[in-house]
Amino acid sequence: MFETLSYLTLQHYWWFLVSVLWAALVFMMFVQWWQAIFLRLWKTEAQRDFILNAIWKHHKLTFSVLVTFGWAVFASFPMFYATSFGWAYLVWMAILFLFIAQSVSFEYRKKPNNFLGQKTYDIFLLLNGFLVPLLLWVAVATFFTGSNFIIETSNLVNWFWNNMHITSWTTQTYWLEALWNTLNWWFITNISLGLTLAFLVQILALLYVINHIKDVTIIKNAKKCLKIKSIIFLVVFLVFVFKIMTIPGFNYDPKTMIIGLENFKYLHNLLDNYFIYTIFTWWTVFVLLWIGLWIFSKSRNGFWFSWFGTFLVVLSVFLLAWFNNTSFYPSIVDLQSSLTIQNASSSYYTLIVMSYVSLMLPFVLMYIIWAWWVIAGKQMTKADLKKGLEKY
């Protein structure tokens, strides 16, 4: 079956799969932001316990999607994996340790005689909830604004102990420079995209509270907070859209593979593909309309409508990054080191084998859907919390 497909088609297939996993991971990030707001929005200890016990099971699904994404990237685009995970390691190590802190905090915050104390674990949850979505999405923004790395394939045959790496990073901050990259004011694009995700998943978290928890006071507080977060999200989202449509992009010639800058590249990508244009523009409008509807409506089903629209909008953003002969991981210090789906992918035969393995992904998705149904299939009440064997 996959043997009949061309090498380029398989590369397209795998980038689409990676994009789907990214979009799913972004949607699952609402658990992180829920932690970031629970200390501020709900003041009493009883309300905090109620909220945390409603969400703690979800964080395991988030981590499962993250691991699956890492496996997919390693299998399909090993050069990207080696460059990003190997050298931009400060951000990925920070995210990993924050996930570890999250799991430990859920487990021990309410345990008697824990040596750090409940407040310390609550702070860990707060940091996890704020920093993970922000760092993850600023990392994604470098798909459009570039990173500081050089690819030296000659090291494959002429290597010594001091130059045994194919990829090298040119800064000592190993990706953290993306937070203040002043070239073409790209840090505005990076930060605006990071904040867009941060407030988007916070909105999803609030909508989930309204949908899943049966408590009048909590729902009332959530709706008040939803108005403020929606306004902030709209502002930073518009800044990101303006920047991404006006910054120069990284274009390459598919015959010579020479990479250069093209003005309004991502705007051209959007207009040149009807599918991407449709899901990006229309579903963005639908998500914004649905958020507004659930703010002023008594309905409690806004989460289920909004998460699907969020998934499609995020998917379209990832598709913009590679479509139409675009470098999806550009280098700003050496344009010819920029990675594309053609020069960063595994070999043809590896992609064929891994494509058969990818047929297991629907089972992973079905597991996630089933787990969601079990966890969130009915509204949670305080009586359910009293019945629980473990409290977090």
Per-residue pLDDT tens for 66-85?
A: 788 888 888 899 889 888 88
**Residue 383 pLDDT level (bands cut at 50, 70, 90):** low
Does the pLDDT of residue 191 top 80, yes or no? Answer: yes
Q: What residue type is assigned to position 185 of the chain? A: W
Q: Please tell me what DSSP assigns to residue 169.
A: E
List alpha helices for the chain, DSSP H.
7-28, 30-41, 45-55, 58-76, 78-87, 89-108, 118-145, 186-212, 216-246, 265-272, 274-296, 302-320, 348-357, 361-376, 382-387
Mean pLDDT score across all residues of the chain? 80
Euclidean distance between CA atoms 265 and 260, whole angstroms = 11
Give the mean model confidence (pLDDT) for residues 183-205. 81
Asked whether the beta carbons of 270 and 263 are under 8 A apart, the reply is no
- The pLDDT score that the predictor gives to residue 172 is 83
Give the mean model confidence (pLDDT) for residues 225-239. 86
Does the pLDDT of residue 190 top 80, yes or no? Answer: yes
Give the mean model confidence (pLDDT) for residues 346-370. 85
270 in a domain, yes or no? Answer: yes
19 in a domain, yes or no? Answer: yes
Strand partners, 261: 250
Q: Give tens-digit pLDDT for 4-44.
A: 899 999 999 999 998 888 888 777 776 665 665 555 566 67
Written as six digits, the tokens of 49 are 């316990």
392 in a domain, yes or no? Answer: no
330 in a domain, yes or no? Answer: yes
**Residue 389 pLDDT level (bands cut at 50, 70, 90):** very low
User: Which domain covers residue 356, as residue numbers?
Assistant: 2-387
Euclidean distance between CA atoms 186 and 146, whole angstroms = 9
First to last CA, the chain: 48
160 in a domain, yes or no? Answer: yes
- The pLDDT score that the predictor gives to residue 177 is 80
228 in a domain, yes or no? Answer: yes
Written as six digits, the tokens of 124 are 């860990």
- The pLDDT score that the predictor gives to residue 297 is 66
CA-based nearest residue to 67, from 36, 92, 102: 92
> Tokens 């979505």 correspond to what residue?
133
Report the range of poorest mean pLDDT among 24-38, 137-151, 203-217. Answer: 24-38
Q: What residue type is assigned to position 342 of the chain? A: Q
Report the range of poorest mean pLDDT among 78-92, 141-155, 160-174, 239-253. Answer: 160-174
Q: Give tens-digit pLDDT for 372-381.
A: 777 666 666 6
Report the range of poorest mean pLDDT among 54-63, 166-175, 252-261, 331-340. Answer: 54-63
17 in a domain, yes or no? Answer: yes
13 in a domain, yes or no? Answer: yes
Query: Based on C-alpha coordinates, what's the Rg of the chain?
Result: 22
Q: Give tens-digit pLDDT for 239-285.
A: 999 999 998 999 999 888 899 999 999 999 999 988 888 888 888 88
Higher pLDDT, 285 or 391: 285
Give the mean model confidence (pLDDT) for residues 343-347. 90
Domain count, the chain: 1
Asked whether the beta carbons of 196 and 233 are under 8 A apart, the reply is yes
- The pLDDT score that the predictor gives to residue 373 is 72
- The pLDDT score that the predictor gives to residue 360 is 84
